[in-house]
Structure 1
Amino acid sequence: MQLALLAALLAGSHALAPVIQTRRKTVLHSDMIKGSVVGEDGITAEVAPQDDDLADPPQTMAQCLQQAQDATVAAIEDGQILMDVEFPPLAADLMDDPNTSAGEISASRRVEAPSTRVVSRNEMLRAGDMAGANTRLAIKYAQGIHTRTGKKVAILYPDVPELERAVEQSGSNNPQPGVSLHSLRASIAEAETPQQAFFALFGKGKEMVREVPDADVYVGLTFSAQELPDVEELDTREASKKPIILFNLKLDTQRGDLGLPAFPPKDLQWRFLSRAKAVYFLRTRQYTLSLPEPPFVVNYQGAIFRQYPGPFQCLLDTGKAFRPVSTSARRPALGEFKETITMALKIGAKSPSNEGKNRKFFRTGVKAITWWEEDKEGLEEHTEWRE
């Protein structure tokens, strides 16, 4: 009886199963797959009138370094302590790649010979250790700060192995006058107690964090999210409050990892990283807009740009150059930035700003803001990173 019932149920379920029909494949034109870009196919943009007081976005690596140095010197003279310097020597698609590490950020031949050309990922891999390229860029940056201020700059690495590799590649602990390379965390051999040696083995223990007595400015290089608490420890120890510059650490990516297993808690953002003022910030982003009519797909890109003490600028690539779409005294959230440059697009006689509410909802989604940008519970202790 049970076998008969089971057979009947199986037969019934087979009868109720959906009939799979072969769908006709739609072949799209190659241009539709590729998409159009601003400056082509009648796609333009509405940009703000050019303000002579606004800093122009850099066109070469040399300009980028010069602007970063100018902004840093101005911030130091104004008494800023914790600073964030971030700019993309790599192509925009590599900067958006989550697999691009802090050590890869500055692996560009433009460090040695300023040019508009950016090397490909394969070329970078053949070029050798990415941390070496990052070190060379940081040395040039630090050299400019020392030349203009007379302050001694210590470039800090998370641990001794990274320092030794950097020294081997740069050739010296003192690659330029007034610039020296150091490890923030001491080696196991420097441990004063068995407990310190044990924690040092696993990269833990605040006691192993070391200051550089003769340094006037610190530049933190290649620190991961797990190692940022060491930088906070250095900041709390320095009674003289020496400036600390977080150099090309992709802090927004680091913030996104906070609170995950094996990562520092989110308190690190509220307590420490919220103090990191973006004195020089150039963050590129690429987006795609789908349309129900030609050109169907529009690829566009922009950047959030800030050179201290100027405002934050939302820049859009107009096909010839990055032009400011809007400016603000406070740093725009990433979702707000995307919406700003999207609304500036003009596709023929139409603009995304004229789209209906339903279409806008499906394009933007329910939420376009990160937890650290939103601060829903009001835990943020400082606002310097927004200003």
Structure 2
Amino acid sequence: MEKEYRVKGSSDEFIDANIQLALAVVKKLQEKQETRACLVFPDKPEMRRASELFKSALDSIDGITIGSLDDVPAGPMTSFFRSGRNTLDFDFEDENEDRWKSNEPPSLYIFLNCSMRELANIENADLGLLGFPPKDLHYRFLSQFTPLFYIRIKEYSKTVAIAPYIVNYSGAVFRQYPGPWQVMLKQADGSYTCIAESTTRFTLGEAKEELLRVLGLQEEEGSSLEFLRRGYKASTWLEDFDLEASSAWRS
């Protein structure tokens, strides 16, 4: 029976790009050392979709296996989400289910395209909250990972006393290992240029200050306008460094 997948959109493009990147990484690693990689998808529908779209690429890599977080033991909240999804998943037959299996355990797991809701399953724990894991998951678990590729795009606006009165600007925090962390400014032609570098991760507040600095939009240091814009706290909850188990995520 011919299979139908959801209409191609921006989210699918990111999903497919991440899969292609993971496959390329596995090939590069295998050039340097023996690597038995397992690609882990958020659920079985995503795994089946990938196995169809990337069948040839998967066949070209020795020892690769695939799996899904549906195989991880789930608590009551996660089981609720899975049961609802499986009710709508009528495509029970999967001709590729046993195509990429191995008797040898993987030496590398790559988790692909997981949302906040699936992070707790990666840690082999229940979600605990509807839609989002607890903050402790970051402090205890995610803080131990060193980001190899990271991009966080933010858009801002600032009121000024002269025309055009409202200045819209945007930028990104970017890192490609082993390079430094960078603050990137989005230019008029849509490209990004580096305006600041650091060996440690910029907080979102620090990145915004760098953008304002290069645009000439900073208030005088210590002024009331600066305090009103910043407030008393210039960081987000996950940047509470005293609570984190590791500083690897900032290195």
* SS at 2:124 equivalent: helix
Counterparts of 1:140 and 1:184 in 2: how far apart (Å)?
19
Q: Which residue of structure 1 lines up, in the alignment, with residue 18 of structure 2?
A: 138
Q: Which residue of structure 1 lines up, in the alignment, with residue 69 of structure 2?
A: 184
Counterpart of 2:38 (choices 154, 169, 182) is: 154
Aligned-residue identity in percent: 33
| TM-aligned CA deviation for residue 168 of structure 1 | 3.9
The structure-2 alpha-carbon separation of the partners of 1:365 and 1:259, relative to structure 1 and needing over 3 Å to count, comes to farther
| TM-aligned CA deviation for residue 148 of structure 1 | 1.8
Counterparts of 1:181 and 1:284 in 2: how far apart (Å)?
31
Structure 1 unaligned residues grouped into runs of 5+: 1-124, 205-210, 235-257
| TM-aligned CA deviation for residue 292 of structure 1 | 0.9
Counterpart of 1:224 (choices 84, 94, 115) is: 115
| TM-aligned CA deviation for residue 229 of structure 1 | 2.1
The structure-2 alpha-carbon separation of the partners of 1:141 and 1:365, relative to structure 1 and needing over 3 Å to count, comes to same
Counterparts of 2:148 and 2:51 in 1: how far apart (Å)?
28
Structure 2 unaligned residues grouped into runs of 5+: 1-5, 83-100
Q: Which residue of structure 1 lines up, in the alignment, with residue 230 of structure 2?
A: 364
The structure-2 alpha-carbon separation of the partners of 1:134 and 1:217, relative to structure 1 and needing over 3 Å to count, comes to farther
Using structure 2 for the length normalisation, give the TM-score: 0.71
After superposition, the CA RMSD in angstroms is: 3.6
Structure ID, larger Rg: 1
Counterparts of 2:78 and 2:232 in 1: how far apart (Å)?
45
Counterparts of 2:186 and 2:15 in 1: how far apart (Å)?
30
* SS at 1:293 equivalent: coil
Alignment pair present for 1:267 and 2:128: no
Tell me if the contact between 1:158 and 1:227 (Cα under 8 Å) persists in the aligned partners.
yes
Tell me if the contact between 1:154 and 1:182 (Cα under 8 Å) persists in the aligned partners.
yes
Q: Which residue of structure 2 lines up, in the alignment, with residue 324 of structure 1?
A: 194
Counterpart of 2:168 (choices 299, 302, 306) is: 299
The structure-2 alpha-carbon separation of the partners of 1:147 and 1:369, relative to structure 1 and needing over 3 Å to count, comes to same
| TM-aligned CA deviation for residue 285 of structure 1 | 1.6
Counterparts of 2:237 and 2:196 in 1: how far apart (Å)?
24
Q: Which residue of structure 1 lines up, in the alignment, with residue 8 of structure 2?
A: 127
| TM-aligned CA deviation for residue 260 of structure 1 | 5.4
Alignment of 1:1-387 (within 5 A): 126-127=7-8, 130-131=11-12, 133-150=13-30, 151-171=35-55, 174=58, 176-178=60-62, 179-186=64-71, 201-202=79-80, 213-233=104-124, 263-319=132-188, 321-346=191-216, 351-354=217-220, 357-375=223-241, 378-387=242-251
Q: Which residue of structure 2 lines up, in the alignment, with residue 48 of structure 1?
A: none
The structure-2 alpha-carbon separation of the partners of 1:364 and 1:295, relative to structure 1 and needing over 3 Å to count, comes to same
| TM-aligned CA deviation for residue 232 of structure 1 | 1.7
The aligned length equals 220
* SS at 2:71 equivalent: coil
The structure-2 alpha-carbon separation of the partners of 1:127 and 1:302, relative to structure 1 and needing over 3 Å to count, comes to same
* SS at 2:183 equivalent: strand
Counterparts of 1:129 and 1:325 in 2: how far apart (Å)?
28
What CA deviation, in whole Å up to 9, does each residue of 1:121-180 have, x standing for no partner? xxxx8526944x445323321232232221343221123233233334445793542454
Counterparts of 1:384 and 1:316 in 2: how far apart (Å)?
25
Tell me if the contact between 2:40 and 2:68 (Cα under 8 Å) persists in the aligned partners.
yes
The structure-2 alpha-carbon separation of the partners of 1:308 and 1:354, relative to structure 1 and needing over 3 Å to count, comes to same
The structure-2 alpha-carbon separation of the partners of 1:294 and 1:231, relative to structure 1 and needing over 3 Å to count, comes to same
Tell me if the contact between 1:139 and 1:175 (Cα under 8 Å) persists in the aligned partners.
no
Tell me if the contact between 2:200 and 2:250 (Cα under 8 Å) persists in the aligned partners.
yes
Tell me if the contact between 2:157 and 2:167 (Cα under 8 Å) persists in the aligned partners.
yes
Tell me if the contact between 1:259 and 1:266 (Cα under 8 Å) persists in the aligned partners.
no
The structure-2 alpha-carbon separation of the partners of 1:164 and 1:147, relative to structure 1 and needing over 3 Å to count, comes to closer
| TM-aligned CA deviation for residue 367 of structure 1 | 2.3
* SS at 1:363 equivalent: helix
| TM-aligned CA deviation for residue 366 of structure 1 | 3.0
Tell me if the contact between 2:152 and 2:173 (Cα under 8 Å) persists in the aligned partners.
yes
Return the letter of the residue paired with 2:44.
V
Return the letter of the residue paired with 2:207.
F
| TM-aligned CA deviation for residue 372 of structure 1 | 1.4
More contact order relative to length (CA 8 Å, sep ≥ 6):
1
